[in-house]
Structure 1
């Protein structure tokens, strides 16, 4: 049997790696570069540091700093108009998944006609895109190395994805110094997002030996270092390891896809604008509990990977991971759905919409019912 495993980005990793940005820009022969980031990155002083490096490349710089969480089609179109008017020939995206995803989406429209919504799904981007340098400031989404963009359709009130190898960032600068100022709550939520990527991709029905290796290794690195990074944001060894684990897990999930956790999280974000990482973190333990009977051996392998005390009794051991993830979420301050403003009356509507999520096709337990989703939502409530 043959397996496909896609890896593309040229990665510069480690403290001080941002200093290589001018050379990267020059290597692409860029003249008009759009920098994309949000207000948080600007307030933390990170945008200014990156801008200093871009200026060394002697290029014209166009700024788009209006990025919002769960970026919408309208925001993509707005940025694309500005980029086209300025004759942009390359991008530098600085921030978390929202900034990098927005840049990837705008990049699609620079060389492909129409509106961004028409590119939803797998393999619908026809033309190659422009150079894009991704500089993550969180350790969670893995957007810097994946072929995936997650956007919000405000008219349909849903999140959808564009999956295409062409949209993967050309270069990545993974400098853990840029995660130093990330608040503990964001560190926790984005870190749990990365752990979700690791475990969901490992049990995905699209997983193969190449993806499984990355998913397991990513989980090990993330599980060991997340509590340290949340407890002490200046622990740069833990910060660097979190960034490393995020990239490793990203290779796994971008090839194996995800499952029910993300299906629920996408719906929560679309309707209530929950931060993606926090939505995943809240739901994760209960979906792992739900999935356990469909892939008990893999659940035990995940438990063993992080040294949980297996007993040899499959009926018990298959739930060890779910229990540990619930404890981890509580220890690092992940909030329940009710604590995030969701009301019990909202759960029925949410369950209906989760059933429409394409990502459920990759979940190991299939034929999922509305009642089963409601049970998960109530447990997370």
Structure 2
């Protein structure tokens, strides 16, 4: 059966690559540029470095720094109002997945109008969008090269996605130096988010030879370099490889899609404000163990790829990856669900609601096991608690 493998983005990678920004904007014939970032990126000086790389004589620059974790429809509308009022013709997104996803959504509204939820789902963006340049500052989401924007609707309290090839950034400027200031707990969460992308896309029912090649190679990179980046944020070889791994895995999961981990994580983020990487990391080992009953071959392939010891007994070896991921999450200080929650702590009384909401999530359609029930999800939540 024929499979599609879509890659769009032009990537400039390496130290000081941000100095290419003005040249890139000139190539897009830009005049009025919106720069999107959050206050954390501003606080560590990265926003200033990006703004300094834009020729102020050639471009009129306006900024939107209101990005929040798990960006909401209100944030998108606020950024869109600024962009529209200033007749923006190009966007620069600086930050992690939240900033890049916010910029993607603003871009959709600039080109198409309406409300952002009009474009929820797959392939629902009718008109081509404006040039978008993504400058990632974390190594985790791969939003800089994917066709996905994840947002939160505060009215219905749910996380939803726009998936459309039109919204993929046109240009990525990937400077590993911008990840140097990321603190260890964020390095861990975003790195485990990337590992989730690698594992879920490898076992997705939509996976094919091309996606699996990228997903497996990315897992090898993350397994080797994430612990180093976590221990020492100034280890630039590790930082560089983590950023490279995010690009590689983005090629895989944007074509193969994800699964049960993301279905649960989206619900945790929407209702309790968990950062996306933390939400994934909490449940990842337990979902991998659940899926191993269906795709033992693939789980063993991944385990062998990162040189985990094998016994030769398939019934034992299919759980080797799940055990290793549990070890990694604990070693890097990922808190259990009982200690998570931005405003309200999660309790076991929330599990029934969370499971029902997770069952409505789109990524479930791509999970290797399709026998996911409310009871299955509650059991996973209990183990992660």
Tell me what 1:138 maps to: 138
Tell me what 1:362 maps to: 366
Tell me what 1:263 maps to: 263
Alignment deviations for residues 34-75 of structure 1 (CA, whole Å, 9 cap, x no partner) = 000000000010000000012357200111000000001111
List aligned pairs for 1:226-375, cutoff 5 A. Answer: 226-340=226-340, 341-375=345-379
Q: Secondary structure at the match of 2:54?
A: helix
Tell me what 1:84 maps to: 84
5+ residue gaps, structure 1, are none
Tell me what 2:186 maps to: 186
Distance 1:3 1:206 in 2: 9
Whether 2:20 is the aligned partner of 1:16: answer: no
How far 1:339 moved relative to its partner?
1.4
List aligned pairs for 1:140-155, cutoff 5 A. Answer: 140-155=140-155
Distance 1:155 1:196 in 2: 28
Is the 8 Å Cα contact of residues 25 and 57 (structure 1) preserved in structure 2? Answer: no
List aligned pairs for 1:100-249, cutoff 5 A. Answer: 100-249=100-249
Distance 1:140 1:115 in 2: 28
Distance 2:283 2:321 in 1: 14
User: What is the aligned-residue RMSD (CA, Å)?
Assistant: 0.8
TM-score, with length taken from structure 2:
0.98
TM-score, with length taken from structure 1:
0.99
Tell me what 2:48 maps to: 48
Q: Secondary structure at the match of 1:55?
A: coil
List aligned pairs for 1:90-101, cutoff 5 A. Answer: 90-101=90-101
Is the 8 Å Cα contact of residues 22 and 56 (structure 1) preserved in structure 2? Answer: no
Task: List structure 1 runs of 4+ shifted beyond 4 angstroms.
Answer: none
Alignment deviations for residues 212-268 of structure 1 (CA, whole Å, 9 cap, x no partner) = 000000000011000000000000000000000111011100000000000000000
How far 1:367 moved relative to its partner?
2.5
Alignment deviations for residues 93-135 of structure 1 (CA, whole Å, 9 cap, x no partner) = 0000000000000000111121000100000000000000000
